[in-house]
């Protein structure tokens, strides 16, 4: 069992930055694939980024490549999402997720993940 808690959301102007933090409790978190998803009002939950336990190269959706960076510190059971050059279309509730048996082709599918945090609101606006 894994519990996830996100923090770091808030209101930021376009072009600004935020760093989301996902702290996990539970055993063997370092063996889990971790992902970030977001959901805007009236839209489906969408994949943002993911990082596998055994692969140092993160995966990103195209719209955030070059602006967002996903990283993890297994010693601290923590995952980060550094978001730079934020745009109004990045506004959403951001969720951290974790799963233990996720194949590469399912990395972007919310249903592949077993555990979810409660979400943190990110609003990009003047």
**24-83 pLDDT, tens digit each:** 998 788 899 999 999 999 999 999 999 998 657 899 999 999 999 999 998 899 999 999
Closest CA to 64 of 97, 45, 89: 89
pLDDT at 16: 98
Distance from C-alpha of 50 to C-alpha of 97, rounded to nearest angstrom: 9
Give the pLDDT confidence of 13-30 residue by residue, as tens digits.
Answer: 999 999 999 999 987 888
Classify residue 101 as exposed, middle or buried by CB count within 10 Å of its CB (0-12, 13-18, 19+).
exposed
CA-nearest of 86, 56, 95 to 74 is: 56
The pLDDT of residue 101 is 86
For residue 1, the model assigns a pLDDT of: 84
pLDDT for 54: 65
Which pLDDT belongs to residue 55? 59
Tell me if 124 sits within 8 A of 90, measured CB to CB.
Answer: yes
CA distance 2 to 30: 11
Rounded mean pLDDT, 106-110: 96
Q: Any bridge partners for residue 78, and if so which?
A: 23, 73
| φ, ψ of residue 106 in degrees (nearest 5) | -105, 5
């Amino acid at each position: 069992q894994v519990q996830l808690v996100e923090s770091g959301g808030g209101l930021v102007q376009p072009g600004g930055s935020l760093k989301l933090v996902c702290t996990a409790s539970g055993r063997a978190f370092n063996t889990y694939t971790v992902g970030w998803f977001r959901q805007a009002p009236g839209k489906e939950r969408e994949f943002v980024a993911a990082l596998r336990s055994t692969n140092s190269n993160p995966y990103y959706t195209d719209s955030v490549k070059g602006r967002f960076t996903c990283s993890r510190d297994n010693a601290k059971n923590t995952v980060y999402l550094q978001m730079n050059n934020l745009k109004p279309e990045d506004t959403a509730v951001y969720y951290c997720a974790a799963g233990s048996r996720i194949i590469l082709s399912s990395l972007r599918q919310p249903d592949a993940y077993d555990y979810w945090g409660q979400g943190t609101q990110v609003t990009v606006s003047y």
